[in-house]
Amino acid sequence: MFRKWGQKETAAAKTPGASATAGASKPVTTPPAPANTAGHVPAAPHAALAASQLRRTVDPASLGFVTTAELDGIDGLIGQERALRAIEFGADMATHDHNIFVLGPPASGKTTAVKSYLARKALEPSPVHDWIYVNNFETPNRPRAMRLPCGRARALSKAMIAAIDELRQTVPQMFESDEYQARRRTIDEGFRSGQEAAFEALSRKAETQNIAILRTPNGIAMAPMHEAKVVKPEVFNALPEEIRKGVQQKIDVLQRELETILEAVPKSDKERRGRLAELNEEMARLVVTDALDELKAAVADLADVAAHIDAVHTDMVRNIALFLASSEDGEAEAIVKQPVDVSRDPRFRRYQINVMVAHEDPASCTAPIVEELNPTYGNLIGRIEHVAQMGALLTDFLLMKPGALHRANGGYLLVDARKLLLSPFAWEALKRALKAREIRIEQPVEQMGFASTQTLDPEPIPLAVKCVLFGDRELYYLLAAHDPDFARLFKVQADFDDTIARTPESLMSYARLVASIVRQHALKPLDAGAVARIIEEGARLADDREKLSIEVGRIADIVREADYWAGRAGRAVIAADDIVRAVDEHVQRSDRLRDRAQEVIGREIVMIDTTGAKVGQINGLSVLQLGDFAFGKPSRITARVALGQGRVTDIEREVALGGPLHSKGVMILWGFLAGRFGAEVPLAMAASLVFEQSYGGVDGDSASSAELYALLSALAEVPIRQGLAVTGSVNQWGEVQAIGGVNEKIEGFFDVCNAKGLDGSQGVLIPHANAQHLMLREDVVAAVAAGRFAVHAVATIDDGIEILTGVAAGVQQADGPFPDGTVNRRVADRLLRFAERARLFARPARDGSADGEGVS
């Protein structure tokens, strides 16, 4: 398992001596030195921290209320003035590039705070419009975008459908009316009578010449007559040739006249059709004008829309036959005697209106606040859908669907930055829209140059939106460093803090925040004792007794779970015990691996000593973070020293299990040793440091002080008390520095010692700067108060080595050695012996080079 030494190491060194309000306890002093340190100078007693310094409690009576039912909820967040001012500034800046990036820890209430402020901001006057797409009758693949006053798009769309539906009824009636039929018959009969008169005149002329004009299945034929009867062919052929020629000449003349008459028929028919088309157009214009007059009057103030209605009028008149064509829907209508859904009839799609953005009522005509939870490319920019017909994918302007940018236009768009970046093409599309200040619906395949289906090129819609991204700090700084467009588009940084200072005012604000949570989730009220425990848990979540966590999500979870346990207990008010139960149950659901880690230590599978004393061996403390649960785990650290060439070998680093921070800590140890003991004597030693039974990675420098203690013990040959564990980093001057996760580390070692049996000799050494961060569990505080466990705060390595060994560290005398019998003197003497032996064993250097020194 990967161990992170120094996880949460964000605590800054502060003035020692944190205040406490818990009850006082008798101070614990350093136990006597181990038996095998006889002859050494004993260390002066070091007082351990009192139980009152291990947990800062809250007196319920000091809160000034009985239950949260007496409190007013708090509007917004507490202690986030910097972030809220940034949000206010970004929302007020009416520029396209002052978008906002809200950064901070998860569950800190960022989204709720932004929505709360923007809800008030949205009530201010804002240019909000409806947007529609309509068919472009001249270029159908380039639909036209039109802006409408707020609240009018839906009514316009319904009015257009109503007009189409009316035409479906009135057009057939108009063309079936007696007036239309009479006028059409007049036109038809006028042309038909002219043709018949010409044919009758030719027939009479032929009759006077004894020629008959006959209508046969094969067309019109002419034949000679005698005594009003057609002469049979065999009789005609028997006549003299001169008579036959005379008759044939008459027939030829009549045929030419007949051809002239027949050639005039198509021209006459074309003229007839023209006259009918004029009639149809006249009648169509009347009925279409009557259907669209009301609609056109409603949009008289909108020049673009009125022009489109004129174009619709012209196209309807030109294609009036669409309203006469029968369809399956029409047949169904005739059967059930009910109107069909005109909006679904493919014949009339060209006239319909695609409503992209619509506000239903005037009350909704405020700046919209749109949170896109799934910011894919299509959900963000919009998309063009296709339908399959005859093996091809087809589309039209009605298949264009709006995205979040359309809905948020004129207002605010809220997006989770991590989800946005994980969605292909979405981040680039958002930046492109913000820079161009327009929404252009394009398919990703079109942008890449691939388009294998029928597609559209709709007009872009102007964009005026304030985009708010939410993300963690790491993501913000990565974008700022690697995306040049990011800094130009998101110029407002709203940084939410993790904690607030613990003051009387903030305690009351915290109580009001709890009251707000109770009201929001309809929970039972909390009594003052429960609120006090919530405040203490807030300090523990903050890893600082002087701070309170404002991780609103986690606080709300505790309150809701406590409400459940109060209900199980039959209480109408949530008590402190319910808060404790909620916290304990949450830990119990998450601590399986912690139990397994403590089990293998208890069964001595992993070797951790909690009694006795050993040279070069010490218990270090690490923190393991598993999801939202962290726990401390002790590890044995050992050091071995021998004569060498001045090298400290970090075994973890040699086998690639040590991270860079851990390697840095080991290198600092060499700096400390060289500065204190190697000013005049070469460090002719070889040392090795290792985490025993460590099978995962090790990183962080919070074990560097423990490693230095083990190294000093090995050099001085002074045993270290195994009942003590150590955490803290060290610098080259031997000062112990603050680390993170101090509460979990202390509790982790306490649990191991408690399982093996507390005898009063066990405890933990922590940096003095971390004393102000202590918010330990109550069972640990109780054990300290009873003298069964101890927590020591040390400022220097000398303080720590005295507590661990019971031997005085020793202060170097002016221009002289360390005092006899001290740890530092024994280390100096050991290193001097190494140097002398190295000189005795050394041979003359053939190349004149000196021994190397350093860390590997």
Which tens digit of pLDDT belongs to each residue from 835-847? Answer: 999 888 876 554 4
The H or E element spanning position 647 is: strand 647-650
User: Which of 637, 527, 625 is CA-nearest to residue 571?
Assistant: 527
With a CB cutoff of 8 Å and minimum separation 6, the contacts of 731 are 668, 672, 737
Residue with tokens 């003197």: 825
- How far apart, in whole angstroms, are the C-alpha atoms of residue 553 and residue 520? 13
CATH 3.40.50.300 domain position(s) in the chain: 110-128+366-495
> In whole numbers, what is the pLDDT of the chain averaged over residues?
84
Supply the pLDDT for residue 334. 42
Residue ranges of the chain assigned to CATH 3.30.230.10: 3-54+595-809
Give the H/E segment covering residue 855: strand 854-855
Q: Of residues 731 and 225, which shows the higher confidence score?
A: 731
Of 107-111, 162-166, 420-424, least confident by mean pLDDT is: 107-111
DSSP string, 700-761: -STTHHHHHHHHHHHHHT--EETTEEE--EE-TT-BEE--S-HHHHHHHHHHHHHHH---S-
User: Strand pairing of 219-226 and 790-794?
Assistant: unpaired
Residues 5/700, Cβ–Cβ less than 8 Å:
yes
Percentage of the chain with pLDDT > 90? Answer: 48
Select from 544, 542, 534, 538 the least CA-distant residue to 18.
Answer: 544
User: DSSP assignment of 629-641, as one string?
Assistant: EEEEEEEEEEEEE
Per-range mean pLDDT, top range of 331-340, 353-362, 445-454, 465-474: 465-474
- Do residues 772 and 14 make contact, with C-beta atoms less than 8 angstroms apart? yes
pLDDT tens-digit series, residues 294-305: 999 999 999 999
Strands 144-149 and 369-372: unpaired
pLDDT band at 76 (very low <50, low <70, confident <90, very high): low
Q: Above 80 in pLDDT, residue 485?
A: yes
Sheet of strand 219-226: strand arrangement = 211-216, 219-226, 229-230
Q: Rounded to whole angstroms, what are the CA distances from 513 to 75, 208, 816, 826?
A: 8, 118, 62, 58
Q: What SS3 class is residue 135?
A: coil
pLDDT at 697 over 80: no
Q: Superfamily for 110-128+366-495? A: P-loop containing nucleotide triphosphate hydrolases (3.40.50.300)
The yes-or-no verdict on residue 26 having pLDDT over 80 is no
The pLDDT confidence band at residue 564, using thresholds 50, 70 and 90, is very high
Query: Which residues form the catalytic set?
Result: 702, 745
Residue tagged 């859908």 (tokens): 385
The string of pLDDT tens digits covering residues 218-266 is 667 777 777 677 777 777 777 778 877 887 887 777 777 777 766 666 6
pLDDT value, residue 336: 38
Provide the H-helix boundaries in 410-483.
Answer: 417-422, 426-436, 444-447, 473-482
* 555 close to 540: Cβ distance less than 8 angstroms: no
Contacts of residue 796, defined as CB under 8 A and 6 or more positions apart, other chains included, come to 734, 735, 736
In the chain, CATH 1.10.8.60 sits at 60-105+498-591
Q: Reply yes or no on whether the pLDDT at 28 is more than 60.
A: no
Element (H, E) at 56: none
How far is it, in rounded angstroms, from Cα 554 to Cα 627?
13
Reported pTM: 0.76
Q: Which fold has domain 60-105+498-591?
A: Helicase, Ruva Protein; domain 3 (1.10.8)
The predicted pLDDT at position 203 comes to: 77
Neighbours of 214 (CB within 10 A): 10
Measured CA to CA, the distance from residue 770 to residue 756 in angstroms comes to 27
What is the structure's pLDDT at 25?
45
Please classify residue 291 by burial: count the beta carbons closer than 10 Å to its beta carbon, then call 0-12 exposed, 13-18 middle and 19+ buried: buried
Residue 20 has what pLDDT? Answer: 37
What does the pLDDT look like over 432-470, one tens digit per residue?
Answer: 999 999 999 988 766 555 555 557 889 999 999 999 999
Q: How far apart are CA 275 and CA 192, in angstroms?
A: 13
- Could you tell me the fold of the domain covering 3-54+595-809? Ribosomal Protein S5; domain 2 (3.30.230)
pLDDT tens-digit readout, 746-762: 999 999 999 999 999 99
Looking from the CA of 32 toward its CB, the CA atoms found within 13 Å total 5
Q: DSSP labels for 489-510?
A: HB-EEEE--SEEE--HHHHHHH
Q: Cβ of 339: how many Cβ atoms within 10 Å? A: 11
